[in-house]
Amino acid sequence: MKNNLKVERAKKNITQAQLADMVGVSRQTVNAIELGKYNLSTILALKISRVFGISVNEIFELEDSDLEP
């Protein structure tokens, strides 16, 4: 899954640690999400989108490879 999380954090001047505190995960989890190494839950995606005041689809985008069984 592609994401714009790092870009959105930069726009709001929010560190990985600050975002992690805001949504209740570790900084390492935020880092893994940004690197595409962590498939987050719907709840976490919604929490992150709320922090930035934008839709989940504006931050996260499915790739064709995500749709394969």
The CATH number linked to 34 is 1.10.260.40
DSSP code per residue over the chain: -EE-HHHHHHHHT--HHHHHHHHTS-HHHHHHHHTT-----HHHHHHHHHHHTS-HHHHEE--GGGG--
Q: What is the pLDDT of residue 15?
A: 98
Determine the structural domain holding residue 21 and report its residue range.
2-56
Q: How many domains does the chain have?
A: 1
pLDDT tens for 5-49 read 999 999 999 999 999 999 999 999 999 999 999 999 999 999 999
pTM of the model: 0.90
Q: Above 90 in pLDDT, residue 68?
A: no
Residue 21: inside a domain, yes or no? yes
Using alpha carbons, select from 50, 54, 51, 23 the residue that is nearest to residue 38. Answer: 23
Residue 43: inside a domain, yes or no? yes
Residue 37: inside a domain, yes or no? yes
Residue 8: inside a domain, yes or no? yes
